[in-house]
Chain A
Amino acid sequence: MKHLYYVVSVLMVSLLLTGFSCDKYTKAGQLAKDFAATVLVAQQLETQAYNSGYIQPASHMVIQTKFSQLAAAGARLDQAINQAHSAQGAKAQIDVAASLLSDLSNNQITGIKDDKTRLAVQAAIVSCQTILDNIAVFAQ
């Protein structure tokens, strides 16, 4: 049940912060930070589920490798936003991050044995995808 509270909280914060900034660079930076923070929450949820015995060690390793790759793509996305002073030009990194999130959502977390835990991790990843979609709007 606690997991669901976290996910609801993440969704509330994501929605609340979406409208705060006005100029494109600040907005893109804010979304980039929200994206990173939400990925961190998803990672912590997955680690907690693993420590509770709901995820097999082999799956946990694959998922954490994906999170590590996501962190690398996220850092490159931040760099691209900084260089362009907007999200324009960041499309390549957005695509990499979107692909990793899609793989996590569709393949890697499907093996989580506990239904509530799987749904909570999935909801956190959906939040990440939603924020990334908002960044992608600025990249066009």
Chain B
Amino acid sequence: MNASEILKLLSLIGAAEPVILGYIKSLLENAHGMTGDQFLSEADGIWAQVKANAQQQLQPTPSPSTPQS
């Protein structure tokens, strides 16, 4: 199975979740011809997103605001 066949398969099975599928597709599409620096730069961006997601989840749930009269 080559990369394009896998991409087609992923499109079929992952249509319900475009965000995660987008990351997987980008892994496949961008892998060729990238340098070590480029890979590491992208990895750093992903780590920043993991950290931001975690911080968002760790924030206390805001109390409901009082309706303005």
Contacts and interface: CB of A to CB of B under 8 A. Distances in A.
A101 interface: no
A102 interface: no
B17 A2 contact: yes
Nearest to A5: B13
Q: Interface majority SS on B: helix, strand, loop or mixed?
A: helix
Majority secondary structure of chain A interface residues (helix, strand, loop or mixed): helix
Looking at chain B, what size class is its interface with the partner chain? 35 or more
A60 B28 CA distance: 31
B51 A33 contact: no
Interface in B17-69: 17, 19-21, 23-24, 27-28, 31-32, 34-40, 42-44, 46-51, 53-55, 57-58
Contacts of A50: 57
Interface string A88-125: 00000000000000000000000000000000000000
Contact of B54 (A13, A43, A81): A43
4 smallest CB-CB distances across A and B, nearest first, come from A29-B39, A29-B36, A68-B54, A36-B46
16 contacts: A2-B17, A8-B13, A26-B35, A29-B38, A30-B31, A33-B43, A36-B44, A36-B50, A39-B50, A44-B19, A64-B57, A67-B54, A68-B50, A68-B51, A68-B54, A70-B50
